[in-house]
Structure 1
Amino acid sequence: MHPRSILLFLIISVFSFFNLSAQQAKKDRVIIGTVIDTSNQKAVMGATVAAISLSDTTKQSFFLTDKNGGFNFSNLSLGYYRVRISAVGYRPLIIDSIHLRNDRADFNLNDIPLNNQSVELAEVIIFVEKPLIESKDGNITFNVGESALSNGSTATELLKQTPLVTTDADGKIAVRGKEPKILIDDKPVELNAQQLQDLLESMPGSMIEKIEVLTNPPPQYANEQGGVINIVTKKGRVGFGARVNLYAGSRGQTGVSTNFNYRKQGFAVNLNAGVGYNEFQSEGYSNRTNIYKDSSNQLKIINNSFNKSIRPSFRLNVDYELNKRNSFNFVAQYNQGNTNNSGFNRYTNINRFDEISRLSERTVASEGRNYNPSINLSYQHKTKRPGESVRMVYALNFGQSESVRNFFQQFLNADDTPTGVDSTQRQTNNTRSNGYSINIIYDRPSANKKTSLSTGVAYYRNNSHVVLTTDFMKKPENIFQKAELLSNNFKFHQDVISTRVSMKHIFKPGFSFTAGSAFEQTNFLFELFRDNKTEYNRYFNILPFANLNRSWKNGMNLTFAYRRTMRRPGIGELNPAIDYGDPYNLRYGNPDLLPSQSHTFDMVAGKTKSKYFANVSVGYNLVEDVFSQIRTLAPDGKTTVTWNNVSNRQEYEASTWAGLTISRKLRSNISASYTYNKYGTFDKQVRKFRDGGSFTSNFSTNYNPTDLWTFTGAFSFNRFANPQGTVRSNISMNIGAQYKLFKKKVIISINTTDPFIQQQNRVFTYGPNFNLESYNRTQTRNYRVTLSYNFNKTSTVKRKTVDVLKSIKK
């Protein structure tokens, strides 16, 4: 079935569901939740749960939790409620200030932990409704489940809507302009850049609970230059649950994803699977002026392309708690990408007399497949000393990528008539990779609970084998002949051994100091079979860090941080194979690249109140041995783009992120970041580098007129600087509406992407002897409908309403 037919079917279904739901005059007013044991995460059966109306405390509803720890109060009156939970052998728990109202008539309290302590004093929690964006101690939490844009989206699309997070035209993720460490459920993702991009583009947004941006990360990740992004997946309630999502978009987008979860007595299983199909069309041009001593000429290129992709994915997550001190986690993951692309390019060379000196047209057809399975196993042991634990994480991943590109170039006269000369080439790329890692993390607090030790050791190993074959069709025999100079065959191996130790001291509540250092040894080896040689390099680094944090009861917080960071070049930057996709612009990596290191100084100040939060950050970075993509002009009129180490760079950074609760129904958030790069005199005079600034911004708003409707809007604008110029992009827009019906088992979402302006990028590049302007527009406008159905087993134990005054009279 064509994607547009599926979209039409979903639209008809939407209006049918709206019509049926309009017949439901009365809304259920409910409070539901699951009671679990804090020590072992098991369900607490038979706990007494009371829902007490604060406007009339004589009217109370009681519920005994079922075998899954669940309770379900329904048909409640509007108003404020207090929920009181008690069970034999547990400390009583009170959840206060739950407000049932017309715009939100039901609350799911999810897992409610009871402490296994037989004391009379009850623990009191003031209930606060979860906003779309939260901020605490300079860190950001994007509650994906509260967004109308999550259904039908991918992890990549949701990251673009996260404050301070940006992705460039190549899919590279950055936080305040620097590359972060990506975690999934607190476990590091040890993949190369392309594998990570494939993983995030295939991960359904419906499986994500929240995205955490840790600008002030924990000690084990303190040396990451861009902080940490932690993607937390949904775990499900105690018992059985399942969800199915079906979506289709006007751009040709369609897909389905499913989720199954089961939790009981320390055992939990989450299974996610899905497949998505996408289409993109793009068009653009580039104008390059080549400047010589006595003349200049131009190269003008116009291009268009059509890209299709199918991305199936699978993820199995198993948690098992052997006892309250020992727990295991196992994750098996698989994602695949199948691509089919076609493109057209027209090249026009203009001489110094403004005459066409050469004209040609080139068509490109390519097919590609990649497979990325991985497994992750972790074990945690908690000792009898409170807060002391040891955690081990082992990860293993494989990857295989195959692509075939066919090029046909026809040369034309100035009047567009064929010259009779043409050229046919074929480029085949086969890459196999594997990697494994082991992390051991140990945390131990002192007896006085004011000083704590955190230490760990890690080992990472990555291997890649790349075989690139370029063939030219030999005429008149019409047979392909291998071009040795444009082909390559090599293996790449990299080892990283890291040891870390840090101490944290709490002077008093809200005032702490953390200091430590990481010690890293990196080895990498290139086996270049074509050239019959090897290239080996190793480097040792000491990476200290320190953090001073102060917070006050009025919501103010202040953080001063220093860290020494390192950015290692990956296979994408080191790969020496030549990309022949554009005969006038050759691209390849540089196996001689050195790592880039920096001294990073940051200050973050913020204030968090019930109605708003606001944060301001300023920083200074001294970056050594910067490596960046550099374009140079060769004497034959071609340009080469490769990676090179340049001299040091100074960075001045300022950013802000804030949120405002305008009302219970309406909340808005904004973030912006500006980084100014300043290069040395040699680079500016000889290489013609330019100082410049990068600006990123994001605005989002969430409106909940009722508990059934959610409206979300996200807008962003980015401008990136590079040593040779700038990249300008326009505003990106994503607007969504979500409606729940049939007791919220059915969810319908409508998303609109870039309804007014499609995504555009304009790049200006300046070299010592050339100027280049490039423009690209991608047809990102899309109207997507998502239909979701939840299979959740609810509690069946009947509740009873008690009028306390009547009972006393009797």
Structure 2
Amino acid sequence: MICNHLTAQNTTLEITGKVIETNSKQPIEYATVTILSNNNKKTITGTVTNTDGIFTMDTKATNFYIEISFIGFATQTFKDFNISNNKINLGVISLSEDEQALNEVVVRAEKSQTEFKLDKRIFNVGTDLSSTGASALEVLNNVPSVNVNIEGEISLRGSQGVQVLINGKPSVLTNADGNALGTITADMIEKIEVITNPSAKYDAEGTSGIINIVIKKSEKKGLNGAASLNAGFPASNSFGLSLNKRTEKFNLFSQLGFGKRLFPRESETINSDLVNNITISSNGESDFNEKFGTILIGTDYHINDSNVITLSGTYAYEVEDQYSTTNYNTTDATNAITDSWIREETTEATNPKLRYELQYKKDFKRHKDQDLLFSALGSSFRKDQSSDFLNTILTGTDTDLQQETRTDYKLEDYIFKLDYTHPFLEKYTIETGSQYAINIVSNDFAVSNLENGIWVDDVDLTNIFDLDQKVFALYTTAAYEGDAWGVKLGLRMENTDLNTVLINTNETNSQDYTNLFPSLHTSYKINENFSLQAGYSRRINRPGLRSLNPFSNIRNNFSISTGNPDLQPEYTDSYEFTSIQKIGKASLNLSLYHRYTTDVIERIAIFIDNVSISRPENIGTSNTTGIELNGKYSPTNWFSLNGDFNLNFFDRKGIYESESFDFKGNKWSTSMSSKFKLPLEFEIEISGDYFSKYKTLQGEVADILYADMGVRKKILKGKVILNVSVRDVFASRIFESETLQDDFYLFDSNLRGRFVTFGISYGFGKGEAMEFSGQRR
């Protein structure tokens, strides 16, 4: 029977076929097969072809026709077809290149390319990337100034303090442990926006930059996913599974991960009393063991072409065990040991984490960039921790000491945002919106000493610290953007209401302040490959719990770090002038910047009875002027090179308790990473970083030089990836600092050591095989 109209009702038809390319006769993967209604031409259902170009789908429709399409190829339409035993076999369908369509696509966005905008750069994802099935992480690696290392860590202009957004908002996909961004494939991404000096639209809280991933509207994408298994030394074993399913109305995404990891550490400290010539030194080793499990699930529901709702959540649970042994020695002026003891620590903790998100976005038909966006993001974290400490005397007159601590820590964060963008008169845009952020923290901390067989609380170190912070913000920006020149003005108002209380001693601190944060950005596009940008923004750095909480761990009783509940925020005026140039296959960014900061937060160390106590204080101002150079060069498809160089000079002025802390200095850093694609689907990545030594308020921080490397091998057409990564190849990433004052000297050193990880990943559907790093965040 040849027909395209059936009279029988509730009859299920099975439709099959194979799609190939006319000239090469090769199968076409991801060709779209659509069933449309003869009555209104609307889509009834559809599917895509698999890796062999084959498709199968079912329908109960009775009056329809079938279209077979693929980007750059002429569409095939079937209005008459054979139906036999409730089956339609379309056989082998050949698609030919549509020369006119190909030309149009090339002109518009066939090849991924970068646009220069007022306060950002936009990387439009073309079909050269969107047809590869690569993950969002691999797409990011093609964006100038952005680098993603072999473990999935994202950096912008050499800094890993970058904030990643999805459609302009924080998302569980960017905050969950592991590489959840791998559930987003290249063909789902419309563009990636890179912002190095954020405007008033974004949080005034300091950040090294913003990367915003803009997702396309829903299309029939099918199922994609990836599974990975990793093992490492020191012990780092994990399993991860990511799934993404796109239908006509829904985009479902999920990730599951669990594993076990070990973080060893070597430490050394020196406390020297330069007046009495008494020195207490320590050398220790510790093992931090963690078992973890995490699950993420979410969905985008496309109500229609203009409205979409996103609902997602993630839950993680961690079990921690830590053990350390530290040897202490006290020496006199002749360097003879007068006291010696061993301090042992055993710590156990559990950490449940929950994060959830609701988002609604409405697009308007009058303009593609007009939209309304509401989002609500919530999270909670809890830590129940107990620690036992034992001092065993080896030499001297002291007696053995036994201590224990208990921590009950709770954190809740909520962020509500509303944003509206309104373009008008072709070249003008107004943005306006608001945000309300709530941060609630409670830290119940107790220290007890064993005295005559009875545990007695140390009242000086036992208390409950509660913090309640609310920040309400309103913003407006107005922009003009012509063909070559543009300007954007913005103003953000933020009101901060902060309350802290020490419950046991009834010590309270309340702060309520309102600030204005203006921003100004301008750009001039000299040609398609060269642009100049200039920007100004005012930023704020609010002290967090660690800086405000007056209690600390007693891991080392001779080196204590506390918080300051009276600490004020620091403010920064940030100026930046940048040239952005593309030269053939290279991109080069050169920036000059100046930052003026008031109420600078610095830690001040005091020395009492061989005990150093550091506490953050607001001390003076800082003027920092610097130059930053970032380049990316890909001369061939098998080699790419990334480089960053940053040099700045700072001038500090400040007085604390009648003591001047004026000083000048400079520091610089550089990083280089190279990637090679070798025969037999091998890839090698080698990177190195150097951070110079620099002065601090009371001393100096030593320089650091270290290298990482990784090797990947793709098999089965890239569906399976084997990888080996080595972090800190030469075990040279040692953090050292010195404090040198007239009456005391302090030294602190920490080494994590070398980490080696072996992994195997499998990608299915349109998913890319990827590593589930399970990294701590």
Contact persistence 1:487–1:578 (CA under 8 A): no
2:631: which partner in 1?
658
Deviations 1:185-224 (A, max 9, x none): 6323799xxxx9xx56555675577997531335422745
Q: Which of 460, 464, 471 is the aligned partner of 2:448?
A: 471
Contact persistence 1:223–1:545 (CA under 8 A): no
Matched, 1:481 2:456: yes
The one-letter code matched in structure 1 to 2:458 is A
Q: Which of 751, 755, 764 is the aligned partner of 2:725?
A: 751
Matched, 1:46 2:55: no
Distance 1:330 1:206 in 2: 18
Q: Which of 665, 670, 676 is the aligned partner of 1:697?
A: 670
1:787: which partner in 2?
760
Contact persistence 1:297–1:351 (CA under 8 A): yes
Q: Aligned with 2:310: secondary structure? A: strand
Distance 1:421 1:184 in 2: 58
The one-letter code matched in structure 2 to 1:165 is S
Matched, 1:230 2:211: yes
Distance 1:31 1:723 in 2: 64
2:143: which partner in 1?
134
Which deviates the most, 420-429 or 330-339?
330-339
Residues 240, 97 of structure 1: alpha-carbon distance in 2 compared, 3 angstrom cutoff: closer
Shift of 1:716: 1.8
Distance 2:201 2:499 in 1: 27
Alignment of 1:514-529 (within 5 A): 514-529=488-503
- Per the normalisation by structure 2, the TM-score is 0.79
2:197: which partner in 1?
216
Q: Aligned with 2:426: secondary structure? A: coil
Q: Aligned with 1:580: secondary structure? A: coil
Alignment of 1:66-215 (within 5 A): 132-135=141-144, 140-142=145-147, 144=148, 149=150, 153=151, 158-159=153-154, 163-166=157-160, 173=161, 181=163, 183=165, 186-188=168-170, 202-203=178-179, 206-207=182-183, 214-215=195-196
Residues 547, 647 of structure 1: alpha-carbon distance in 2 compared, 3 angstrom cutoff: same
Deviations 1:633-684 (A, max 9, x none): 12x2211121111111111122111011222211111012223332116469
Distance 2:590 2:170 in 1: 28
2:571: which partner in 1?
597
The one-letter code matched in structure 2 to 1:444 is H
Shift of 1:514: 0.5
Matched, 1:495 2:470: yes
Distance 2:533 2:673 in 1: 26
Contact persistence 2:265–2:750 (CA under 8 A): yes
Q: Which of 539, 545, 548 is the aligned partner of 1:574?
A: 548
Shift of 1:473: 0.9
Which deviates the most, 236-245 or 650-659?
236-245
Distance 1:470 1:313 in 2: 32
1:395: which partner in 2?
377
The one-letter code matched in structure 2 to 1:368 is A
Distance 2:569 2:514 in 1: 11
Matched, 1:423 2:397: no
2:230: which partner in 1?
247
Q: Which of 683, 697, 705 is the aligned partner of 1:731?
A: 705
Residues 747, 203 of structure 1: alpha-carbon distance in 2 compared, 3 angstrom cutoff: closer
1:274: which partner in 2?
257
Contact persistence 2:198–2:210 (CA under 8 A): no
Q: Aligned with 2:165: secondary structure? A: strand
Distance 1:317 1:190 in 2: 9
Residues 311, 672 of structure 1: alpha-carbon distance in 2 compared, 3 angstrom cutoff: farther
Q: Aligned with 2:574: secondary structure? A: strand
Matched, 1:560 2:537: no
Q: Aligned with 2:201: secondary structure? A: helix
- Per the normalisation by structure 1, the TM-score is 0.76
Shift of 1:367: 1.4
Shift of 1:379: 0.6
Distance 1:352 1:29 in 2: 83
Residues 222, 463 of structure 1: alpha-carbon distance in 2 compared, 3 angstrom cutoff: closer
Distance 1:684 1:485 in 2: 24
Shift of 1:239: 0.4
Matched, 1:511 2:494: no
Deviations 1:37-96 (A, max 9, x none): 9x99997972444878xxxxxxxx98889xxxxxxx9999xxxx9776969xxx988899
Shift of 1:724: 2.7
Equivalent residues, number:
679
Distance 2:286 2:649 in 1: 34
Residues 202, 264 of structure 1: alpha-carbon distance in 2 compared, 3 angstrom cutoff: closer
Matched, 1:378 2:364: no
Contact persistence 1:47–1:85 (CA under 8 A): no
Q: Aligned with 2:460: secondary structure? A: helix
Q: Aligned with 1:572: secondary structure? A: helix
2:267: which partner in 1?
284
Contact persistence 2:140–2:146 (CA under 8 A): no
Gaps of 5+ in 2: 1-23, 35-41, 49-65, 79-91, 113-125, 132-137, 187-191, 768-777
Contact persistence 1:683–1:689 (CA under 8 A): no
Q: Aligned with 1:486: secondary structure? A: coil
Deviations 1:418-462 (A, max 9, x none): x5710100011111121212101011112x111110111111111
Which deviates the most, 756-765 or 686-695?
686-695
Distance 1:515 1:659 in 2: 30
Shift of 1:707: 7.9
Shift of 1:561: 0.7
Residues 771, 205 of structure 1: alpha-carbon distance in 2 compared, 3 angstrom cutoff: farther
Alignment of 1:256-267 (within 5 A): 256-267=239-250
Distance 2:77 2:323 in 1: 62
1:22: which partner in 2?
none
